[in-house]
């Protein structure tokens, strides 16, 4: 399973990368705004800075919603670095843009996916990744994990190469359950990744080992 970090914060990205388990980054306009990144030049520089930290897979989202503008923006984003994956929303022009960009050899991440039908369209259009938002589904009392299961099944049935990128992950159980279901990728905040480290028996066990070592070595 690939781990992506869902943030535009450079120090969080660096921290996750330094842990040695990071496979990529997902950003979106809200996450960029949270870091105060505005204006085309700053946006480009920020994506470049992210690409300079990680080895691959930096999702950068288009703002345009019309086909012509989406593909132009997508091509510009892809020029920033080979690591860029162009993130396109699941709308009619977005599906066309995914098809077009994929045919140009530009990797895409179809975002804002909330149903199996949308995921099927994204795969047929040639998306590299599909991003079902599980936390936002849970928020409205639907089971986000059921959706991941459905999409994994459908893609397996037909051998679609599109990777299932579980997004809007809120806690470690989401992440573990996505791994059990067979999602290809999970994108989550830094605290969800670092929370995987924690177990009280690990802490208690280490404390005892170090105390016993000290007894005979002091
Ligand atoms: C994914 O690519 C999105 O950026 C993200 O996971 C959305 O998460 P949220 O629902 O916590 O905003």
163 vs 57: CA distance, rounded Å: 12
Is the domain 2-217 a CATH 3.20.20.70 member?
yes
The mean of the pLDDT values for the chain is 98
Domain boundaries, the chain: 2-217
Nearest CA to ligand 1 atom 9: 168
Mutate to test the pocket of ligand 1, among 50, 187, 188 (most ligand atoms within 8 A of CB): 187
For residue 167, the cross-strand partners are 133
Residue 38 pLDDT exceeds 90:
yes
Contact 173, 144 (CB under 8 A): no
Mean pLDDT of 191-195: 96
Please write the tens of the pLDDT for every residue from 196-205.
999 999 999 9
Nearest CA to ligand 1 atom 5: 168
DSSP codes joined into one string, 13-27 = HHHHHHHT---EEE-
**CB-based pocket (< 6 A), ligand 1:** 6, 26, 28, 111, 131, 133, 135-136, 167-168, 187
DSSP designation for 140: T
What global pTM score does this model have?
A: 0.96
Mean pLDDT of 205-214: 98
Q: What is the set of active-site residues?
A: 87
Residue 218 pLDDT exceeds 90:
no
Pairing mode, if any, of strands 24-26 and 185-188? Answer: unpaired
For the chain, state the CA radius of gyration: 19
Q: What pLDDT is attached to residue 198?
A: 95
Atom of ligand 1 nearest to the CA of 111: 2
Among 63, 167, 61, 172, smallest CA distance to 113 is for 167
Among 15, 3, 9, smallest CA distance to 36 is for 9
Share of the chain above pLDDT 70, in %: 100
Please write the tens of the pLDDT for every residue from 104-152.
999 999 999 999 999 999 999 999 999 999 999 999 999 999 999 999 9
Please write the tens of the pLDDT for every residue from 157-186.
999 999 999 999 999 999 999 999 999 999
Among 95, 94, 108, 104, smallest CA distance to 59 is for 108
Q: What pLDDT is attached to residue 179?
A: 98
């Amino acid at each position: 399973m690939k781990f992506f970090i869902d943030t535009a914060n450079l120090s969080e990205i660096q921290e996750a990368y330094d842990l040695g388990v990071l496979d990529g980054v997902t950003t979106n306009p809200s996450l960029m705004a949270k870091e105060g990144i505005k204006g085309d030049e700053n946006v480009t520089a920020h994506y470049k800075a992210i690409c300079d930290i990680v080895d691959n897979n930096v999702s950068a989202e288009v703002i345009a919603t019309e086909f012509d503008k989406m593909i132009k923006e997508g091509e510009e984003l892809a020029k920033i670095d080979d690591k860029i994956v162009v993130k396109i929303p699941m709308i009619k022009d977005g599906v066309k843009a995914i098809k077009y960009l994929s045919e140009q050899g530009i990797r895409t991440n179809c975002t804002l996916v909330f149903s199996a039908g949308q995921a099927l369209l994204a795969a047929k259009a040639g998306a590299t990744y599909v991003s079902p938002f599980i936390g936002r589904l849970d928020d409205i009392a639907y089971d986000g994990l059921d959706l991941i299961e459905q999409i994994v099944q459908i893609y397996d049935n037909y051998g679609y190469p599109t990777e299932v990128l579980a997004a809007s992950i809120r806690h470690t159980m989401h992440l573990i359950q996505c791994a059990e279901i067979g999602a290809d990728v999970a994108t989550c905040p830094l605290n969800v990744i670092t929370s995987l480290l924690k177990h009280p028996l690990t802490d208690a066990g280490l404390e005892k080992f170090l105390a016993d070592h000290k007894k005979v070595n002091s």
